[in-house]
Amino acid sequence: MKKYLLSIFTVILPFLTFAQETTSEKIDRVFKDYTGWFVDAIFYEIPFSEEYQIPWVLIVLIGGAIFFTIYFRFINVTGFRTALRVVQGKYEDIEKHGADTLYGDPTDNVDHNIIETLRDDSAHGEVSHFQALTAALSATVGLGNIAGVAVALSIGGPGATFWMILAGLLGMASKFAECTLGVKYRDVGEDGTVYGGPMYYLSKGFGEKGMKGLGKVLAVVFAVFVIGGSFGGGNMFQANQAAAQFIKLFNFESGNAGMYFGIVMAIIVAIVIIGGIKRIASVTEKIVPFMAGVYVLAALIILGFNWHLIDDAFALIIEGAFSGLGIAGGLVGVMIQGIRRGAFSNEAGVGSAAIAHSAVRTKYPASEGIVALLEPFVDTVVICTMTALVIVITNFDGSFMEYGVPIKEGVELTATAFDSVIPHFSIVLTVAVILFAFSTMISWSYYGMQGWVFLFGKGKISDLVYKILFLFFVVVGSSISLGAVIDFSDAMIFAMVVPNIIGVVVLSPIISRELKKYMNAINVKHDALDEGAEDLTKHM
């Protein structure tokens, strides 16, 4: 089966090479002819009235998020403080060796040699909680936060911000659920390499429930989608946008500049992805906090200069969220735009983040699920909201945006908003776009690789084939105008929602048990500390 699937990709590759040799217009037309039906099916909008339609994928995403929020008793709220403590390493000791091993024995077992004696029993995994979080964040924090928010506001007005925040809060429960399963059902190779994600919890989890056949089918479908998404939306689109911003910043002539940019970018990406998730995580743990910090700092400076307008901005957001303020589709139209942008920005429910989070070092799967719920909060509730506030405040006089009039290029509009207070910040923003694109590419390379390995097997040759293909598409994405190629790759990313949400809903009772197990472990440690035991975290 694996050889058969690999042969299919080998047959397709010449056509992809041929596509590079033709014009962008021909690529776009031919690709659209063959894939348009798939794109239309994934993004089909269910007409609820003549005024508004809702994409069925959005209904599945938000419906799943609401279900998980209720089923896990508002874990997006109750688990927030615990998530911060986990990321800080407060429970690293019990996650590595188990709470009962370290704190469950009533006799005095605390001595300086305990770490050495327990080393062989330590947890599997390749990265820390913080590294897994930043690796996953690097795939979601990006152009959607800069350009996507501006697009949403242009269509839905300021009120879209409120519903965007709500989508982010609900998405926290989805991320918790899928990332817990990612750790629960991961595979660990003899060399310690971790293989995880929806492919594994769909096949293994459904197998435990006597639905092995269905689970295998869903897993294969997901793997195909994640590979396609990694080449397109997670690669070519990012490379294309980064190249466009770079060329615009330095006013390069059109021609081969994009291709040269793509070659350089491919070399840099290669240096990172060849090292696997450990190197990816080591890079993202530095890039993501830095670029997010610069962006948030700039936003805070603008909000600081205009602090007296913040309450007015929130008033406009709340009013627009429940009135529509003349936006097409009224209240429902505003709601759809906000929820759509929030859900699509943080990818909660898509299943992609579960792949990165599955590589974490821990004995308790729910520990990483709790860490993962921070992702939609940072991505959507914090960064997207700050972008929206900056745009609303700097556009009170309607100088550069008319709400209700859709725009296509959101980066330029966001840059205009920032430049109005911080002159020439658009230069920094361009650099941020390139860094965002780079970090997204390296994270999606890992996602696609996991799907590839699931289909074709584990091995150095198989890994190398995927990485070469991925780097090839970096150059292609930088060189051509994408159009329908991106529509198709985006459709593949959001098609991942279907098998993933089905799997997570079916396996929810298992997630609940894992959450209870981890919370009990935390309680065991706290009880031991209350009784005078030494906190062994510092010895880890």
Using one digit for the tens of pLDDT, what is the confidence trace for 436-486? 888 888 888 888 998 998 998 877 888 889 999 999 988 888 877 666 666
Residue 533, phi then psi, degrees to nearest 5? -70, 155
In this predicted structure, the answer to whether residue 320 has a pLDDT above a threshold of 60 is: yes
> 39 near 491, Cβ under 8 Å?
yes
pLDDT of amino acid 28: 65
CA distance 197 to 223: 9
Residue 260 CB coordination number (10 Å) = 15
Return the closest-CA partner of residue 408 out of 234, 160, 163, 147. Answer: 147
Residue 192, phi then psi, degrees to nearest 5? 90, -5
In this predicted structure, the answer to whether residue 384 has a pLDDT above a threshold of 80 is: yes
Q: What is the DSSP letter of 364?
A: -
pLDDT of amino acid 133: 75
**Of 52-56, 73-77, 139-143, 518-522, minimum mean pLDDT range:** 139-143
Return the closest-CA partner of residue 68 out of 505, 510, 514. Answer: 505
Degrees, nearest 5: CA angle 511-84-529: 90
In this predicted structure, the answer to whether residue 118 has a pLDDT above a threshold of 50 is: no
**Of 52-56, 276-280, 478-482, minimum mean pLDDT range:** 276-280
> 164 near 341, Cβ under 8 Å?
yes
Mean pLDDT for the stretch of residues 214-226 = 93
Residue 76 confidence class, pLDDT cut points 50, 70, 90:
very high
Average model confidence (pLDDT) across the chain: 80
CA distance 441 to 447: 10
CA 450 → CA 22, 109, 230, 359, 464, distances in Å? Answer: 31, 41, 10, 11, 13
> 348 near 57, Cβ under 8 Å?
no
Higher pLDDT, 173 or 289: 173
Percent of the chain with pLDDT over 90: 21
Residue 271 confidence class, pLDDT cut points 50, 70, 90:
confident
**Of 77-91, 111-125, 343-357, 499-513, minimum mean pLDDT range:** 111-125
Could you tell me the pTM of the whole model? 0.83
* pLDDT tens sequence across 287-299: 777 877 888 888 9
**HEC string of 395-445?**
CCCCCCCCCCCCCCCHHHHHHHHHHCCCCCHHHHHHHHHHHHHHHHHHHHH
pLDDT of amino acid 117: 37
Q: Which of 20-34, 137-151, 287-301 has the highest mean pLDDT?
A: 287-301
pLDDT of amino acid 251: 76
Q: Which two tokens stand for residue 186?
A: 């991961």
pLDDT of amino acid 22: 46
> 152 near 164, Cβ under 8 Å?
yes
pLDDT of amino acid 200: 92
CA distance 232 to 226: 10
Helix (H) or strand (E) holding 55: strand 53-55
CA distance 302 to 292: 15
> 355 near 449, Cβ under 8 Å?
no
The overall longest dimension of the chain from CA atoms, in Å, is 75
End-to-end alpha-carbon separation of the chain, Å? 44
pLDDT of amino acid 192: 72
